[in-house]
Amino acid sequence: MTGIDTELYPKAETRHSQKSSAFKNAKKALRDERISGLTGAFLAFFILGHLVLESSILVSAKLYEDVAYFMEHTVPMAQPLIFIVTIVFFIHFVWAGRKIPGKLRERKMMLELGKKLKASKKGWQQDPKSDIKLRKHFETSMWITQVRTGMIVLATGAFHLFLVMWNIFTDMGVAGQVVGLTEEVATARVASGLWILYGVLMLNVVAHMAIGVYRLIVKWFADTWFVRNYAKALFYFLFWFYTILGTATVIAMAGPLEGILS
Amino acid sequence: MARTLTFKIFRYNPTKDNDEPHIETYELEETPRLNIFTALHRIREKQASDLMYDFVCRAGICGSCAMMINGRPTLACRTLTADLTDTIELYPLPFFKLLGDLSVDTGVWFHDMAKRVESWIHTQKEFDPTAVEERMDNDTANKIYESERCIECGCCVAACATAQVYPDFLGAAGLNRIGRFMFDPRDQRGEQEWFELVSTDVGVFGCIGMMACDDVCPKDLPLLEVFSYIRRKMNSGVQVAVKDLELS
Ligand code: HEM
Ligand code: SF4
Ligand code: SF4
Ligand code: FES
């Protein structure tokens, strides 16, 4: 903290020189925020579409293959999109993750505080029988959830993306006989035990995406008609709709529903 | 039916040698419309004459009585015991310097914040005391008024996880103060000056939107709305600022 001086109401000063370091820092901070927010928004839109298209397997294997054919050959956007999503995925991880060192610094601060407390023998604990949980706040917990789910998505999502990219050169036509993604390929992949990984990825992506969308809207549009309550309603909708849809899709691919499906 | 309330109060006097932080328990009969502030008075009168806590106005105006009441930073004078459980836990606000028991020093932090955001109207105009006041449209006046209602209680800063981690973070009260002057047409600070002050990791982009400040502000200030305004202003303002730079 700076010292207290008593000069009240000094004249407005023009302190910004051209290309001052303050200006550069400010530009960098804005750029960082734009990158993490825009990549997050892009990935969120992608996931919204991706999970709906995947869920076409719930209707029939035929529809699933028609959708895959349409995306790969009619439009063809599936192949380039994989590369774009993978790149954006890693950019987002680096830029959104820039807030995580705060977490580490927090841990360090807590640790130091704890050590000092211990050294001074002035530690105390909250009464375990306490009626209250100290400082539990829903939206704050949400952000912590986002950091955690983000880590899990990084691990499982990277695996998924590489598998799919690998498939472009094998199953999807270049090296293999099968041209394009088929219901068989997808189901075999999920049913072969990878359903655990896909389930974990799906649940974490959905939670991370729904929270991210909620926070993005509140951060940028809380003073427009899109008020916080609407954003929160959207969060609940996205979270539950996609959790249910995604769970059903993973189960369908993992096998128990085989036979029921054509 | 009058309840007997149990108060668990954080006690620690840093000026006393070998005092240790600890929780002390007091019991008090609940009376109609009892608030925490009055309850603390009664405890001090009969049970703990050395209990430290702050108050001035008793009416939610001065902002001095903020403390953690059952885990939530809020004003003691505006909290009725009827709204709380039988056991009431009182802690001082975190983040600020502890003076003793429930009393913290919010003044130094707010003074420092006011200096950092240069919390006064920047203008080169000479003040003419005989002139008629300039008119301002109602929407602008209302916006300024809403931000100006901040009583500097510090609840928003105490509730903010970002503020706990980055002590330099301007906090909700600081960002709100910036908004107040950005709304004001009399303040002649230009895009670039705002940009350098606000578009930083201890300014508006340090805020990660956890909304705790908005949820706890005892004066219900529209904090999230003000932050959104500032963010978008920074987002569009930078082009203007960059152009300014290239021209100059
Ligand atoms: C590589 C794995 C990922 C990691 C490590 C990660 C991490 C993070 C973190 C830490 C934040 C908080 C940033 C902040 O508060 O400023 C965040 C925000 C966000 N993430 Fe992710 N994320 C990942 C993948 C994804 C994916 C796949 C999606 C799309 C479904 C996504 C969508 C979002 C959105 C919309 C935000 C909000 C952006 C903002 O508030 O500025 N993220 N991410
Ligand atoms: S929205 Fe969250 S991070 Fe931002 S100032 Fe409020 S409590 Fe702090
Ligand atoms: S913004 Fe609200 S919570 Fe923060 S200091 Fe002002 S009145 Fe208190
Ligand atoms: S005593 Fe002034 S706000 Fe509570």
pLDDT confidence band for A226 (50 / 70 / 90): very high
Domain boundary among B104, B124, B149: B104
Flag whether A128 is in a domain: no
> Is residue A131's pLDDT more than 60?
no
Look at B122 and A121 and tell me if their CB atoms are within 8 Å: no
pLDDT confidence band for A128 (50 / 70 / 90): low
Q: Please give the structure tokens belonging to residue B171.
A: 């906090």
B208 pocket-lining for ligand 2 (C-beta < 6 Å)? yes
- Pick from A32, A218, A224, A230 the residue to mutate for testing the B interface (most B CBs within 10 Å): A218
**Closest CB to B122 among A12, A130, A131:** A12
Shared-domain flag, residues B191 and B121:
yes
So what's the pLDDT on residue A123? 42
Look at B112 and A9 and tell me if their CB atoms are within 8 Å: no
Shared-domain flag, residues B133 and B99:
no
Kindly identify which residue of chain B lies nearest to residue A143, measuring between CA atoms.
B210
Phi, psi of A94 (to 5 degrees): -70, -45
Domain assignment of residue A241, given as a range: 26-120+138-257
- Flag the least confident range among A89-93, A100-104, A163-167: A100-104
So what's the pLDDT on residue A190? 73
Flag whether A126 is in a domain: no
User: Which has the higher per-residue pLDDT, A135 or A86?
Assistant: A86
Flag whether A133 is in a domain: no
**Closest CB to A25 among B165, B200, B225:** B200
Shared-domain flag, residues B54 and B89:
yes
Contacts of A221 in chain B (CB under 8 A): 228
Domain containing residue B236: CATH number: 1.10.1060.10
Taking residues A9-15, report their average pLDDT.
Answer: 44
Kindly identify which residue of chain A lies nearest to residue B239, measuring between CA atoms.
A27
> Is residue A104's pLDDT more than 90?
no
**Closest CB to B165 among A33, A105, A218:** A105
Taking residues B86-105, report their average pLDDT.
Answer: 92
**Pairing state between β B87-91 and B4-11:** parallel
Q: Cα dist. B68→A225, A252, B90, B101, B153 in Å? A: 33, 50, 6, 12, 12
Flag whether A262 is in a domain: no
- Tokens 């695996």 found at: A159
Q: How many domains does the structure of chain B reveal?
A: 2
Residues 6+ apart with CB under 8 A from B242: A27
Domain boundary among B85, B104, B123: B104
Other CB atoms within 10 Å distance of the CB of residue B210:
22
Flag whether A251 is in a domain: yes
How much distance in Å is there from the Cα of B60 to the middle of ligand 3?
11
Shared-domain flag, residues B230 and B123:
yes
Shared-domain flag, residues B117 and B91:
no
Q: Is the four-CA dihedral B190, B193, B197, B200 of positive or negative sign? A: positive
Domain containing residue A48: CATH number: 1.20.1300.10
Domain containing residue B92: CATH number: 3.10.20.30
DSSP B184: -
Residue from B64, B103, B152 to probe ligand 4 pocket by mutation (most atoms less than 8 Å from CB): B64
Domain assignment of residue B132, given as a range: 106-247
Shared-domain flag, residues B183 and B84:
no
**Closest CB to B210 among A132, A143, A222:** A143
Look at A219 and B193 and tell me if their CB atoms are within 8 Å: no
Q: Is A28 helix (H, G, I), strand (E, B) or coil?
A: helix
Please say whether the beta carbons of B154 and B112 come within 8 A.
no
Look at A26 and B201 and tell me if their CB atoms are within 8 Å: no
Q: How many domains does the structure of chain A reveal?
A: 1
A216 pocket-lining for ligand 1 (C-beta < 6 Å)? yes
Shared-domain flag, residues B16 and B84:
yes
> Is residue B188's pLDDT more than 70?
yes
Which among A242-246, A257-261, B14-18, B121-125 has the top mean pLDDT?
A: A242-246
Residue-wise pLDDT tens digits, A49-94: 999 999 998 888 889 888 888 888 888 788 889 899 999 999 999 9
- Helices A195-221 and A138-169 pack at an angle, to 10 degrees, of 130
Tally of CA atoms within 13 A in the half-sphere of A147 that contains its CB: 15
Which residues line the pocket of ligand 3, CB cutoff 6 A? B 63, 150-156, 172-173, 176, 217, 219, 221
A92 pocket-lining for ligand 1 (C-beta < 6 Å)? yes
pTM: 0.84
Other CB atoms within 10 Å distance of the CB of residue A144:
12
Residue from B168, B167, B163, B177 nearest B208 by CA: B163
A109 touches chain B (CB under 8 A): yes
Which of the ligands is closest to the CA of residue B75? Answer: 4
Domain boundary among B39, B70, B104: B104
Angle at A116 between CA A114 and CA A121, to 5 degrees: 95
- Flag the least confident range among A168-177, A225-234, B7-16, B152-161: A168-177
Q: What percent of chain B has pLDDT over 90?
A: 63
Residue-wise pLDDT tens digits, A190-215: 777 788 888 999 999 999 999 999 99
Kindly identify which residue of chain A lies nearest to residue B245, measuring between CA atoms.
A18
> Is residue B103's pLDDT more than 80?
yes
Shared-domain flag, residues B176 and B224:
yes
Shared-domain flag, residues B71 and B127:
no
For ligand 3, atom 8, the nearest C-alpha belongs to B153
Contacts of B199 in chain A (CB under 8 A): 26-27, 29-30
Shared-domain flag, residues B91 and B150:
no
How far apart (Å, rounded) are the C-alpha atoms in residues A89 and A85?
6
Average pLDDT, chain A: 78
B230 pocket-lining for ligand 2 (C-beta < 6 Å)? no
